[in-house]
Amino acid sequence: MGFSHLDEAGRIKMVDVSAKEVTDRTAVASGRVRMAPATITAIREHRTPKGDPLEAARLAGIMAAKQTDRLIPLCHSLPLSHVDVTISLEDDAAVISATARTAARTGVEMEALTAVSVAALTLYDMCKAVDKHMVITDIVLKAKTGGKSQN
Query: Which are the catalytic amino acids?
Result: 125
Nearest CA among 143, 145, 123 for reference residue 135: 123
Nearest CA among 56, 70, 75, 73 for reference residue 121: 56
Buried residues in 108-119 as b, exposed as e (16+ CB within 10 A): bbbbbbbbbbbb
